[in-house]
Chain A
Amino acid sequence: MGRLSVNLCGIELDNPIIPASGTFGFGYEFAELYDINELGTFSFKGTTKGPRFGNPTPRIAECTAGMINAVGLQNPGVDKVIAEELPKLKKCFHKPVMANVSGFAIEDYAYTCERLDKEEQVGWLEVNVSCPNVHGGGMSFGTSPEAAAQVTAAVKKVTTKPVIIKLSPNVTDIVSIAKACEDAGADGISLINTMLGMRIDLRTKKPVIANKMGGFSGPAIFPVAVRMVYQVANAVNIPVIGMGGVSTAEDVMELMLAGATAVEVGAANLVNPYASRDIIRALPEAMDKYGIENLSDIIGQAK
């Protein structure tokens, strides 16, 4: 066990750094540049029951210290992920990977998780409850404690792997939703997903993104992440993965002080493909500077 190691739901990570879903594909683009086994793990591209092309383009808008995306969960569907992506990944990544799952009905989540449960390479299921519920008037599962708990319970029934529920910050009471997931059997909580945002082009006088609105991420949302991780970590007794605008080793330590057991890095990977690796390499020196011997010692230390 090294200075950086943490235990995430019973699985030891060499370090707490996890590239976030949607910013790391299935890892190959990054494996061209460096050995991705240096990562704690990574959360692969959000996977759904069937294939999805996603939203029309433009899907991306730049913001001050961040960006908006409305990709719309483009992915080949769980069958192809298992048949094609996971065998390819096996060649360049030898650690348990985090499978990120999305759905538009509770049955979809259960189907996809049941399929992924049988895959040896998958260490954790990270369940994104920010998607609209087609049977619930399009409202996101993650905006109601009841719906989030229903998804959690349905997924827990079909898997023995740790289930981490990824929460949306676009809610009035994040703590009640996190607690509902914990009560329904969640093994961990990850947050925050992107914040709903929008940009308008002054020349065309139209929204920049074809979908009009999208998920705002990047360093601009970091303080919101710290706040929500702090609130949730102090309210639940399961591990919390913190994310939202993380771009430095200092950000990692700050989120861990707020209560995060591990930390996901998102938008930073898109700007600097080495970002996650650079953060891992910068951690020991940054820890020395603040007198931190082992990273796991500081989890939730800020009171």
Chain B
Amino acid sequence: MKQTIFTITENTSLTATVYRMVLVGDTAGITTGQFVNILLEGQFLRRPISVCDCQGDALTLVYKVVGKGTRQMSEMVPGQTLDVLTGLGNGYDLTKAGDVPLLLGGGVGVPPLYMLARLLRSQGKAVSVVLGFNTQDEVFYEDEFKALGCTVTVTTADGSYGVKGFVTDALPEAYSYFYTCGPEPMLKAVYKATATSGQFSFEERMGCGFGACMGCSCKVITGYKRICKEGPVLTKEEILWDA
């Protein structure tokens, strides 16, 4: 964990509610699947946001406006600074990927898969990506994943774009391992529909985001884990649903 002041260099909308913010600062120690925790003026608790990408000193966050904190973030402009805690959480483990890994993202669960896809592609893996959204207007990052050389399928629940249905309706026939992030109903469906082992990234309301308050604990096969510290990524074998 590290506390750093970042400077915003870009903050643009990708859809009506999803924004991409690029920040420049000390990114040392940030790994794929981690999150950062952002202090916002006038809000008491920090906002945990997943890392979409991190290259050089540039940190990319893709976030959805859901409340007053993320609304405030969306109104910030290049040049403004943010107090950010970085290096938080246990991210994705790339060593398990195999040769043909599958990435499954739903809605605002798509962003954390981007850096993972980029790193897996740089290792020469044939990466399949399925991105699920509710409707065509909400689709984002299809081109970005394609530009990495991934095989990309988009699903929409209402069928307005791509394959009609959910990410689980568009699973490829063969894959060596999977990584997923999205709303909990989607994660549960992925858990049931997948044929291999895999890693799931979870979301929870957090107090501190660095393991001190026990606000985000969940039960797992071996006991309990803190989503912010031992998570947000858990393996398929250790997950206990409805615990």
Find out whether the CB atom of A32 lies under 8 angstroms from the CB atom of B45: no
Report the bound CA distance from A271 to B210 in whole Å: 10
A-B pair count, CB < 8 Å, reads: 92
Contacts A269-B208, A271-B39, A273-B1 given; indicate if A60 touches B44 (C-beta within 8 A).
no
* Per-position 1/0 for B6-50, Cβ under 8 A of A: 000000000000000000000000000000000100011110000
Interface of A is mostly: loop
Contacts A53-B224, A271-B45 given; indicate if A22 touches B213 (C-beta within 8 A).
yes
Find out whether the CB atom of B216 lies under 8 angstroms from the CB atom of A59: yes
Contact partner of A59 among B39, B45, B215, CB < 8 A?
Answer: B215
Find out whether the CB atom of A60 lies under 8 angstroms from the CB atom of B205: yes
Find out whether the CB atom of B215 lies under 8 angstroms from the CB atom of A29: no
Contact partner of B1 among A33, A54, A64, A271, CB < 8 A?
Answer: A33
Is A57 at the interface (CB under 8 A from chain B)?
A: yes
Contacts A53-B219, A67-B207 given; indicate if A74 touches B45 (C-beta within 8 A).
no
Report the bound CA distance from A60 to B228 in whole Å: 13
Report the bound CA distance from A53 to B39 in whole Å: 29
Contact partner of A29 among B46, B210, B217, CB < 8 A?
Answer: B210
Q: Which residues of A contact B44 (CB under 8 A)?
A: 62-67, 218-219, 267, 271
Is B3 at the interface (CB under 8 A from chain A)?
A: yes
List which A57-106 residues lie within 8 A (CB) of chain B. 57-67, 69, 71, 74
Give the nearest-CB partner of A58 in chain B. B205
Contact partner of A270 among B3, B204, B208, CB < 8 A?
Answer: B208
Q: What distance in Å separates the Cβ of B209 from its nearest Cβ neighbour in chain A?
A: 8
* Per-position 1/0 for B190-212, Cβ under 8 A of A: 00000000000000111110111
Contacts A271-B45, A273-B85 given; indicate if A60 touches B212 (C-beta within 8 A).
no
Q: What distance in Å separates the Cβ of B47 from its nearest Cβ neighbour in chain A?
A: 10
Give the nearest-CB partner of A32 in chain B. B1
Q: Which residues of A contact B217 (CB under 8 A)?
A: 53-54, 57, 59, 71, 74
Give the nearest-CB partner of A273 in chain B. B210
Find out whether the CB atom of A60 lies under 8 angstroms from the CB atom of B219: no
Report the bound CA distance from A29 to B43 in whole Å: 23
Report the bound CA distance from A45 to B217 in whole Å: 15
Q: What distance in Å separates the Cβ of B230 from its nearest Cβ neighbour in chain A?
A: 12
Is B82 at the interface (CB under 8 A from chain A)?
A: no
Contacts A58-B204, A69-B207 given; indicate if A270 touches B45 (C-beta within 8 A).
yes
Q: Which residues of B contact A30 (CB under 8 A)?
A: 212
Chain B interface residues toward A at CB < 8 A: 1, 3, 39, 43-46, 85, 204-208, 210-219, 224, 229
Q: 22 A–B contact pairs at CB < 8 A?
A: A23-B212, A29-B1, A29-B212, A32-B1, A54-B217, A57-B204, A57-B205, A57-B215, A57-B217, A57-B218, A59-B205, A60-B205, A66-B44, A69-B215, A74-B214, A270-B213, A271-B39, A271-B44, A271-B45, A272-B3, A273-B1, A273-B212
